[in-house]
């Protein structure tokens, strides 16, 4: 799919991997709408990419539908969806004081990372299904999972479960949407420089980077964005999860 002049929606596009994807798409001539709850950063990134920001809660159907309505009014039907919205709380099954995991935190993580991803994916696809195809496809969805889906660490039960769900829905969603000529792919990043990691001391960041076999450093958001671009442009990439991780396999802690 050629990128120029298409409309795209990036959830979680205010910062981190989502912002990098938004910048890449804009540089490729795509008209970008950012869905995020961080109004300040979202507005700033939208201005940077000459796109628009919409305050959207990915877990709320009505909020997502209104977001797509606004995106369509400004940029036409979105043909590209990049799902980056997510949270990453930490909590052990049983904490050091012997207390059980806060089920509210577990539920919230599944709600945002898994249900939110599917909610946006489903609404996006339902709208795109009635839009005329461009050649052999109508559009493409790129979800964001994590290597935690495969080797989650201590304290990551909620996060790993949510990202494992995103991994597992990739193939059946691609099969479901094949008749509508909509592709579904997922990227599972390893340890990338994101707002969560930037807050760590430099020594801690360096230590994390050294765990990566090659290259022995943290991933750059632009490298995630480059893979997203390749996925969009290659019509044979469908129904698969790609680990983007420098060959790392996470240790228990």
For the annotated catalytic residues, the residue numbers are 159
Block residue for tokens 């990036």? 10
**In terms of Cα–Cα distance, which of 229, 225, 232, 227 is closest to 243?**
227
Closest CA to 17 of 105, 207, 148, 146: 146
Q: At what angle do helices 116-128 and 157-177 cross, to 10 degrees?
A: 20
* Residue 77 buriedness (CB in 10 A; 0-12 / 13-18 / 19+): middle
- The 8-class DSSP code of residue 66 comes to H
**Cα distance between residue 217 and residue 248, in whole Å:** 11
The C-alpha R_g of the chain, in whole angstroms, comes to 18
């Amino acid at each position: 799919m050629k990128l120029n002049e298409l409309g795209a929606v990036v959830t979680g596009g205010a910062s981190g991997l989502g912002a990098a994807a938004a910048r890449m798409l804009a540089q490729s001539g795509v008209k970008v709408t950012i869905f995020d709850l961080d109004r300040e950063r979202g507005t700033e990134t939208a201005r940077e990419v000459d796109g628009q920001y919409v305050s959207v809660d990915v877990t709320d159907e009505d909020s997502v539908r209104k977001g797509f309505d606004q995106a369509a009014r400004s940029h036409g039907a979105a043909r590209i969806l990049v799902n980056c919205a997510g949270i990453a709380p930490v909590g052990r099954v049983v904490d050091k004081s012997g207390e059980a995991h806060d089920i509210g935190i577990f539920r919230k993580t599944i709600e945002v990372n898994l249900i939110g991803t599917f909610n946006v994916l489903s609404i996006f696809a339902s709208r795109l299904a009635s839009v005329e195809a461009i050649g052999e496809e109508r559009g493409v969805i790129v979800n964001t999972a994590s290597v935690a889906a495969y080797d989650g660490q201590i304290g990551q039960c909620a996060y790993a479960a949510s990202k494992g769900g995103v991994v597992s829905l990739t193939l059946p969603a691609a099969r479901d949407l094949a008749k509508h000529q909509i592709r579904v792919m997922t990227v599972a990043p390893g340890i990338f420089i994101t707002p969560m990691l930037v807050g760590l001391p430099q020594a801690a960041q360096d230590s994390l980077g050294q765990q990566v076999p090659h290259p022995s450093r943290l991933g750059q958001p632009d490298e995630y964005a480059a893979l997203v671009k390749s996925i969009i442009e290659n019509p044979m990439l469908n129904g698969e999860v790609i680990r983007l991780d420098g060959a790392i396999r996470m240790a228990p802690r």
